[in-house]
Structure 1
Amino acid sequence: MGRKVTLATCSLNQWALDFEGNLQRILESIRIAKEKGARYRLGPELEICGYGCSDHYFESDTILHSFQVLTKLLESPVTSDIICDVGMPVMHKNVRYNCRVIFLNKKILLIRPKMVMANAGNYRELRWFTPWNKSREIEEHFLPRTIQEITGQDTVPFGDAVLATKDTCLGSEICEELWAPNSPHIDMGLDGVEIFTNGSGSHHELRKAHLRVDLVRSTTTKNGGIYLLSNLRGCDSDRLYFDGCSMISINGDIVVQGSQFSLENVEVLTATLDLEDVRSYRAHTSSRCISASRVPPFHRVHVDFSLSSFDDVYTPTSEPIQWKYHTPAEEISLGPACWLWDYLRRSKQGGFLLPLSGGVDSSAVACIVYSMCRLVCQAVDAGNKEVLRDVRQLVGDDMYVPKMPQELCRRLLTTCYMATENSSKETRERAKTLSEQIGSYHMTPNIDTAVRAVIGIFTMVTGKVPQFRVHGGSGPENLALQNVQARIRMVIAYLFAQLSLWSRGLPGGLLVLGSANVDESLRGYLTKYDCSSADINPIGGISKTDLRGFIQYCIDNFQLTALASILSAPPTAELEPLTDGQVSQTDEDDMGMTYDELSVYGKLRKVVKTGPYSMFCKLLLMWKEISPRQVAEKVKHFFRMYSINRHKMTTLTPAYHAECYSPDDNRFDLRPFLYNAAWTWQFRCIDEQVSCLEDCKKGALCEEVD
């Protein structure tokens, strides 16, 4: 009957400005799609140049090279007899657009520009691109001469149109358009478009995957039809990790699920679906039919091509599946690990160096690297030749084959416990035991000599000897003595990162890993230019609460028993003198707030967008167990500390983005770094509200007494 279509979508690990590599991965995905019988292939957003080009989009080179890659795609025999849908920037009438370029057999069918820009949080698309605002309108786009020579076309349709093949109709969306309240698929579906496609560049955040899945599922539930979503995968070039999850849906059911985290550079998903299922699903809903009879039509680009075969009676169709979600702990285990792998193999360094303190945060980073090694070993065992090639290049051994995660970890991870007289035996032993269990190359330098030398310089110049508070020193003395230790650890970390492989007769250097969590960064509970200063930080967007859940996951799934004592110990910086050999300093006492409270503050500040007064009002309802005055003091203390320490965000280590309230420098969080920390007007409003509430409570008590 000619009604069953086989369609392909894919996840690609593209890299900004890697035109050669990006081309090869696109061609590979098309080749696989054709092998699987697909006659239409969808790729992710801006796949030709890579999504993360940022201000390189302003350069004419980026568009020039994108068209050069398109030339290679048009010329390649791999792209014959399959409709190819690729993403790239296009300049039309001197305006830069984020586009889908759809072609078949050396002919460009349509260039479809993005109509709804992503311009919040991590996205700045309006900085580089202009949205196409001419709904249902097309214009003629004049092709570059190099493209004209291949296609024989001087101009092609450019704008908001759909493709009409011999057997069906397809319409494109691009990433953010799926999330918009007036998504193009609504009117396209009413106008008879049966197959919706979305080339996307959607990043990972903890607990976000269900939002994307629900949107795709609800799209085809309400409107009927087939929806293909293609997403980028991997570290494109920055803090974001694009997490795949490409999928295909029909009439409210997911029929194909792509992996969310994987070391595969190319993943192609196909589904065979019956167009008659779409038609019957739509036709039985009278309200939809009435709306469809009134919708203005889209311009149709007619394509002399069929997606279906003439005789397909015995062709089986894809069945609905249940989407499998990762828990937050699994996401932490997999997402940052894949991000680290991409960063390491692309930087071509010899591995990582981690200052391992024996606390939850640095231990979590160590476990993420260990998880990375597990993923690499699994990929090699599964026959992934690209991963094996990258491993051999990193370790400098063309014959090396990783067998066990611990053995690979010893080659790629150096851990360093930098002890002082304020370090406890317990944390030293925890770090040592964990390093043994994950297999890292471990060192334990004592840095007291360096600390005393730096303090000695100050004493020599001023004649003053600073003391810790417990020894009678002032607050400034106490803080300065802590910061000296912290900053020297950063210097030592970089020294060992640059020379430790050399000292072992090995080539290359190491990337220094940071381990400040999102809550500490939000509060500013870190020393500027201490060992929170590193090359990259895999946990900089993850809360302490989620990290503790991840540690428990590692105990249960990786059998890292050393983590049990780390999890039960109170978090401490160990920068003040011990009391009878025991730690007396704890993070939460120092901060004046708990990590759980910090997570609440962070979400209210960033996600709900509250100032001091609004936060106070919301917390009154959330924290009913404490008095309004106590709530007020907590809020004011948070905003004072946040304000005083905001400047530290300007030097924050680039971190894996995992949390919606990440304070990761002022790219993602566009707030000032110099505040009036008194917040006089705002705090006065809080105090007035507290007084009013207390007066009301007193009045109510008086009435009860009367």
Structure 2
Amino acid sequence: MGRTVTVATCALNQWALDFDGNLARILKSIEIAKQKGARYRLRPELEICGYGCSDHYYESDTLLHSFQVLAKLLESPATQDIICDVGMPVMHKNVRYNCRVIFLNKRILLIRPKMILANAGNYRELRWFTPWSRTRHVEEYFLPRMIQEVTGQEYVSFGDAVLSTKDTCLGSEICEELWAPNSPHIEMGLDGVEIFTNSSGSYHVLRKAHTRVELVNSATAKNGGIYVLANQKGCDGDRLYYDGCAMISVNGDTVSQGSQFSLDDVEVLTATVDLEDVRSYRAEISSRNLAASKVNPYPRVKVNFALSSSDDILSFPICLPSPRKDKICFCKKTCHNFFFLLAVKGGFLLPLSGGMDSSATACIVYSMCHQVCLAIMNGNQDVLDDVRRVANDETYTPKDPREFCGRVFTTCYMASENSSQETHNRAKLLAEQIGSYHINLNIDRAVKAIIGIFSVVMGKSPRFHVHGGNHRENLALQNVQARIRLVLAYLFAQLSLWARGIPGGLLVLGSANVDESLRGYLTKYDCSSADINPIGGISKTDLRSFLQYCLENFQLTTLRIILSAPPTAELEPLTHGQVSQTDEADMGMTYAELSVFGKLRKIAKAGPYSMFCKLITLWREICTPRQVASKVKHFFRMYSVNRHKMTVLTPAYHAEDYSPDDNRFDLRPFLYNTTWSWQFRCIDNQVSRNEFLFGIKAYVMGRTHSQCVFRDKMR
């Protein structure tokens, strides 16, 4: 005899302080959930006001408007006969909490405050909220008058409790609580909670989705149960991308999983599951049952409502475990952000150099065009409306990604006397294959005019190194070219559509990867500075993988040549018409090494000495300790010299956990004593000690070998 329940979770594209839009999306998700037969609906963390309000959480307006939206939800016919679980900030006894408000039929059942706050990386929850520290404790919360008028309640339960319906028991977690070593679901499961729900605001980092899926499944693998996770989607007005990927898991297996990246503002996922599966799964785990018999009970809020529809037969098809999803190519992650920017602007302009980085940015835009066409083909009217607004054509319906790309994307190859014919050809061919409107121009006249002004004023003309100039002259001449490209990029972004008789302007895209930013291998205020940098949080290694993906899936054959070409800035004179300058030679380190340095510096929290100690083991097959020391010292010297550039880093989608994004994700200083004298001396001492010990060992081994030879001869 089965007891089935249908639960719904969702991924919503909520925006900070967009109370009208957030309310509309919440109501739409409830209506869809009810149409699918759900009796419980879960939503993302802080969905009413938007997760990314930041210091707006300090404002009383944010609390007020959140309660006003809650009143609208309570009054709406859409929220009747379904348990609704919404996220919003709540002030209790003058302390601000990140809460979930759970209600049914115009009555609030429980306000559950978050108990473990996220406060690492890009999260700052302890800045705005206080964790609820009283486990298994509830208090009376005095409701605002606007809510009292709707519910007829003066007080409701506030704290760490679970809901006991007619047929099951539900317990709540909020985002970070799933990731903590002492997750509440452990004790709740032992106390008989069968359905765990998690309202999440988990932003995307490359390879993080797999970890999240594993955490959800492991939450019920040992203890049994149904785990329902909702997540924010979209960018929420910040550099982060919340990737959705709502899911439902039963007894350690995924039974339903939503799309990770989608242009749909509202995505609702439902599953019909059998509570008896949970009970039978738990029945045979004797260690679990022994622990459950001794657990401290949770306060229970009794709810006169049943999630199941029948006690005798299974009235709905039961969801079975679904195959685990492989990781999705990261190109899709920025498309939602791109499409929003596209909807409020006329399109994008990209300085396309013919190299790997700018080509990857171009391919991301092309991928967006693919997704837009696919969404429209699947009937997404909101996307079609935005496209028609951008195109200034109420009848326009894009069907071909290349044609749509030509409408919204302008690429520009800015040649100089130091540019090669190879990069010119690569840029031209890639633009043709993706369909962008392509411009070729030469910057030499502008560069010579700037240098001419300096020469007239100062009476001296700088020269490149190959022409007898020193390092300062050489670097200044390179930087002039780079900065001229920024000026021209913005000029063409503002006026190129005007010159073509098209209304609107373009957003300028940058293309400096996370490894170059970490090393500081970019010119401050050059064309790495832009309105947005789609690849600013992505490593060179992952960009290479992405271009390979585009080559295989979009048939962009030019990428094969781009992938095989050495990265170069092309800012120094050519040698016999060929590129002599390469990025890795300029940087004094490879991109692969940079990625390792970045992970150790940020993720492993390694300073110069501890990084050296880790690398002499990691690289023992390819480098001597003295070579490792040289590489580590060079990295930290250049990192500290160039750290100031991160203060003006172009806003970029956060995709890598070693991003050096200053004052947002990476809170290290931007002014350093660049000698690192103490740290480097410790490294040198360790190198000397290692070499001394190695010499002793070699000497001993040599003597031992000689003695063995002598004994053999004597025998």
Both proteins in one fold, TM over 0.5: yes
Matched, 1:687 2:684: yes
Partner of 1:392: 388
Matched, 1:664 2:654: no
**1:567 aligned residue (550, 560, 563):** 563
Which of 498-507 and 427-436 deviates more? Answer: 498-507
Q: C-alpha offsets along residues 89-129 of structure 1, whole Å, 9 cap, x if unaligned?
A: 11111111111000101111111000000000010000011
- Confirm or deny: 8 A CA contact 2:360 2:543 kept in the other structure: yes
Which of 82-91 and 333-342 deviates more? Answer: 333-342
> Shift in Å at residue 344 of structure 1?
2.9
- Confirm or deny: 8 A CA contact 2:2 2:276 kept in the other structure: no
**2:613 aligned residue (594, 617, 628):** 617
- State the one-letter code of the partner of 2:31: R
- Partner of 2:359: helix, strand, or coil? helix
Partner of 1:8: 8
> Shift in Å at residue 337 of structure 1?
2.3
Q: C-alpha offsets along residues 9-53 of structure 1, whole Å, 9 cap, x if unaligned?
A: 011111111111111111111000000000000000011111111
Partner of 1:136: 136
- State the one-letter code of the partner of 2:325: K
Matched, 1:440 2:441: no
**1:637 aligned residue (634, 638, 650):** 634
Partner of 2:578: 582
**1:699 aligned residue (685, 696, 707):** 696
Q: C-alpha offsets along residues 578-611 of structure 1, whole Å, 9 cap, x if unaligned?
A: 1111111000000000000000000010111111
Partner of 1:218: 218
Q: C-alpha offsets along residues 507-527 of structure 1, whole Å, 9 cap, x if unaligned?
A: 111111110000000000000
Task: Show structure 1 runs of 5+ residues with no match.
Answer: none
* Cα separation, 1, equivalents of 2:260 and 2:243: 5
- Partner of 1:418: helix, strand, or coil? strand
- Confirm or deny: 8 A CA contact 1:2 1:309 kept in the other structure: no
> Shift in Å at residue 703 of structure 1?
2.2
> Shift in Å at residue 312 of structure 1?
5.2
* Cα separation, 1, equivalents of 2:535 and 2:326: 21
- Partner of 2:135: helix, strand, or coil? coil
> Shift in Å at residue 529 of structure 1?
0.4
- State the one-letter code of the partner of 1:66: S
* Cα separation, 2, equivalents of 1:516 and 1:660: 16
Partner of 1:333: 331
Matched, 1:361 2:357: yes
1:581-600 map, 5 Å: 581-600=577-596
- Partner of 1:465: helix, strand, or coil? coil
- State the one-letter code of the partner of 2:141: H
* Cα separation, 2, equivalents of 1:63 and 1:424: 58
- Partner of 1:433: helix, strand, or coil? helix
Q: C-alpha offsets along residues 479-528 of structure 1, whole Å, 9 cap, x if unaligned?
A: 00000110111111111111111111111111111100000000000000
- State the one-letter code of the partner of 1:9: T
**2:475 aligned residue (450, 464, 479):** 479
Partner of 1:62: 62
TM-score for the superposition, normalised by structure 2: 0.97
- Confirm or deny: 8 A CA contact 2:108 2:156 kept in the other structure: yes
* Cα separation, 1, equivalents of 2:260 and 2:459: 60
- Partner of 1:112: helix, strand, or coil? strand
- Confirm or deny: 8 A CA contact 1:272 1:318 kept in the other structure: yes
- Confirm or deny: 8 A CA contact 1:4 1:312 kept in the other structure: no
Partner of 1:532: 528
* Cα separation, 1, equivalents of 2:82 and 2:474: 69
- State the one-letter code of the partner of 2:59: E
- Partner of 2:369: helix, strand, or coil? helix
Distance 1:642 1:415, change over 3 A: same
Partner of 1:204: 204
- State the one-letter code of the partner of 1:118: A
- State the one-letter code of the partner of 1:334: K
- Partner of 2:130: helix, strand, or coil? coil
TM-score for the superposition, normalised by structure 1: 0.98
Matched, 1:267 2:264: no
* Cα separation, 1, equivalents of 2:301 and 2:698: 76
Q: C-alpha offsets along residues 627-675 of structure 1, whole Å, 9 cap, x if unaligned?
A: 1111100000000000000000000001111111111122100100111
* Cα separation, 2, equivalents of 1:702 and 1:109: 78
Partner of 2:645: 648
> Shift in Å at residue 2 of structure 1?
7.0
> Shift in Å at residue 311 of structure 1?
4.8
Runs of 4+ in structure 1 off by over 6 angstroms are none
- State the one-letter code of the partner of 1:372: M
- Confirm or deny: 8 A CA contact 1:490 1:533 kept in the other structure: yes
- Confirm or deny: 8 A CA contact 2:223 2:282 kept in the other structure: yes
Partner of 1:92: 92
- Partner of 1:574: helix, strand, or coil? coil
- Confirm or deny: 8 A CA contact 2:3 2:311 kept in the other structure: no
- State the one-letter code of the partner of 1:249: S
- Confirm or deny: 8 A CA contact 1:414 1:440 kept in the other structure: yes
Matched, 1:522 2:522: no
- Confirm or deny: 8 A CA contact 1:234 1:342 kept in the other structure: no
* Cα separation, 1, equivalents of 2:693 and 2:111: 65
- Partner of 2:98: helix, strand, or coil? strand
- Confirm or deny: 8 A CA contact 1:2 1:308 kept in the other structure: no
Distance 1:681 1:619, change over 3 A: same
Task: Show structure 2 runs of 5+ residues with no match.
Answer: 704-715
* Cα separation, 1, equivalents of 2:49 and 2:503: 32
Partner of 2:713: none
* Cα separation, 2, equivalents of 1:385 and 1:650: 40
Matched, 1:406 2:407: no
* Cα separation, 2, equivalents of 1:56 and 1:411: 37
Partner of 2:554: 558
> Shift in Å at residue 375 of structure 1?
0.3
- Partner of 1:400: helix, strand, or coil? coil
- Confirm or deny: 8 A CA contact 1:258 1:269 kept in the other structure: yes
- Confirm or deny: 8 A CA contact 1:169 1:192 kept in the other structure: yes
Distance 1:676 1:662, change over 3 A: same
- Confirm or deny: 8 A CA contact 1:18 1:49 kept in the other structure: yes
Matched, 1:380 2:380: no
* Cα separation, 2, equivalents of 1:577 and 1:485: 12
1:142-221 map, 5 Å: 142-221=142-221
Q: C-alpha offsets along residues 40-75 of structure 1, whole Å, 9 cap, x if unaligned?
A: 000000111111111111111111111111111111
Matched, 1:322 2:319: no
- Confirm or deny: 8 A CA contact 1:43 1:199 kept in the other structure: yes
> Shift in Å at residue 566 of structure 1?
0.9
Q: C-alpha offsets along residues 511-557 of structure 1, whole Å, 9 cap, x if unaligned?
A: 11110000000000000000000111111111111111111111111
* Cα separation, 2, equivalents of 1:114 and 1:396: 46
1:19-34 map, 5 Å: 19-34=19-34
1:415-454 map, 5 Å: 415-454=411-450
- Confirm or deny: 8 A CA contact 2:4 2:314 kept in the other structure: no
- Partner of 1:84: helix, strand, or coil? strand
- Confirm or deny: 8 A CA contact 2:662 2:668 kept in the other structure: no
- Confirm or deny: 8 A CA contact 1:209 1:325 kept in the other structure: no
- Partner of 1:118: helix, strand, or coil? coil
Partner of 1:115: 115
Identity %: 74
* Cα separation, 2, equivalents of 1:633 and 1:257: 48
